[in-house]
């Protein structure tokens, strides 16, 4: 049957509407992603990998806008932005989120984990699920746990024993546990956002700090504290997370795609960190830094046990902490 004039007119009116609807459906969802570092560091490379995976599994549905080099602030500022909805995704150490989820401090207990594998087993178990629920309740939807590497002491001199840190002004994460740890050794903890640490060390506001090997060079701290003392006192756990408001606005299909991409990205990040630590320390040493082993390990561990005891009532009791240390 030949189309009538009425049919042709109706089709002409409907076509733009259908095209507009299709355009709306195809418009990718903008996602502001905060990273503390540039393109060459794992903290940004993970999001490039996630974006690649989403382009395959959810084509045209996400537009990851990665803002690097701490342009959106340090970890605490980024976390606050996520809760407000101005930032949709980021990485964070669990230390930086301890103000909202105190239970997460259990991962920061010094000398609790033997190695990377020990930490991974714990986070893949019931504790990991419990923490995910606690973070979600505070507006942070955790899609995966990551490992930034072990934290080591950074200084202008060889502070290899606990006695050497006494009286020093040490930059700490804005976390009660980190403050307790260094105060217990007789140091003077000073909370300073990580983007401000370089100038604080350079100008003498603080004398020392602790950090992972990758971030040590990522923030160019080897230029102002050229001695890294291998204490390995805390394994720096972290999360790949998105804001709860953003997550709630996603369809089930988009949630599944993002969760899968983030889980793969978390594994990729852990691989990158191991390689980046080696490259970072080679660069630091080539530019004049020194790496020295910590001495008197029993004295360091004794100080750690004081923190275990002090925080045990808030973290499920000393028996629970001992069970994690034993790998149970």
Residue 294: predicted pLDDT: 97
**22-323 placed in CATH 1.10.287.130:** no
* pLDDT tens, residue by residue, 45-54: 999 999 999 9
Residue 328: predicted pLDDT: 61
Nearest to 38 by CA among 71, 75, 82: 71
Residue 290: predicted pLDDT: 97
Residue 14: predicted pLDDT: 47
The per-type count for the chain, helices as H runs and strands as E runs, is 13, 9
Query: pLDDT category, 6, cuts 50, 70, 90?
Result: very low
Query: pLDDT category, 24, cuts 50, 70, 90?
Result: very low
- For a pLDDT cut of 90, what percent of the chain falls above it? 89
pLDDT value at 183 more than 50: yes
pLDDT value at 235 more than 50: yes
Residue 175: predicted pLDDT: 87
Average pLDDT over the chain, rounded to an integer: 92
* pLDDT tens, residue by residue, 272-311: 999 999 999 999 999 999 999 999 999 999 988 999 999 9
CA separation for the pair 218, 316 (Å, rounded): 35
- 251-259 long-range Cβ contacts below 8 angstroms, 24+ apart: 253/58, 254/29, 254/58, 254/61, 254/62, 257/54, 257/57, 257/58, 257/61, 257/62, 258/54, 258/58, 258/62, 258/143, 259/143
Q: Where do the structural domains in the chain lie, given as residue ranges? A: 22-323
- In the three-class reduction of DSSP (H, G, I as helix; E, B as strand; rest coil), residue 148 is classed as strand
Token pair, residue 283, equals 């660069």
Query: pLDDT category, 327, cuts 50, 70, 90?
Result: confident
- 8 Å CB contact between 192 and 171: yes
Exposure class string for 205-232: b at 16+ Cβ within 10 A, else e: ebbbbbbbbbbbbbbebbebbbbbbebb
* pLDDT tens, residue by residue, 236-282: 999 999 999 999 999 999 999 999 999 999 999 999 999 999 999 99
Which position has the token pair 């045209």? Answer: 60
Which position has the token pair 């740890």? Answer: 181
Nearest to 321 by CA among 153, 160, 177: 177
Which position has the token pair 């629920």? Answer: 133
The residues facing 93 across adjacent strands are 238
């Amino acid at each position: 049957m030949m189309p009538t004039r009425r049919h042709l007119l109706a089709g002409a009116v409907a076509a733009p509407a259908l095209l507009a609807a299709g355009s709306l459906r195809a418009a990718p969802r903008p996602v502001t992603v905060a990273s503390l570092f540039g393109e060459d560091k794992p903290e940004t490379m993970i999001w490039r990998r996630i974006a690649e995976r989403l382009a395959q599994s959810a084509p045209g549905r996400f537009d990851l806008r990665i803002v690097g080099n701490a342009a959106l602030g340090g970890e605490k500022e980024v976390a606050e932005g996520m809760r407000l909805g101005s930032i949709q995704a980021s990485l964070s150490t669990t230390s930086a989120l301890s103000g909202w989820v105190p239970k997460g401090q259990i991962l920061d207990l010094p000398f609790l984990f033997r190695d990377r594998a020990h930490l991974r087993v714990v986070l893949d178990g019931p504790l990991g699920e419990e923490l995910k629920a606690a973070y979600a309740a505070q507006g942070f939807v955790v899609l995966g746990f990551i490992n930034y590497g072990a934290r080591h002491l950074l200084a202008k001199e060889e502070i290899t024993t606990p006695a050497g840190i006494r009286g020093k002004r040490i930059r700490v994460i804005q976390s009660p546990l980190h403050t307790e740890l260094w105060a217990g050794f007789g140091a003077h903890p000073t909370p300073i956002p990580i983007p401000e640490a370089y100038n604080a060390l350079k100008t003498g506001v603080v004398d020392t700090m602790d950090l992972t090997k990758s971030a040590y060079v990522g923030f160019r701290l080897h230029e102002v504290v050229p001695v890294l003392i291998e204490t390995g006192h805390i394994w720096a756990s972290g999360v790949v997370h998105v804001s709860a408001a953003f997550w709630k606005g996603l369809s089930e299909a988009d949630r599944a795609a993002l969760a899968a991409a983030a889980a793969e990205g978390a594994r990729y990040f852990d691989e990158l960190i191991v390689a980046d630590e080696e490259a970072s320390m080679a660069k630091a040493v080539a530019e004049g830094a020194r790496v020295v082993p910590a001495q008197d390990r029993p004295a360091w561990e004794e100080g750690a046990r004081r923190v275990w005891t002090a925080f045990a009532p808030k973290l499920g009791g000393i028996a629970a902490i001992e069970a994690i240390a034993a790998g149970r």
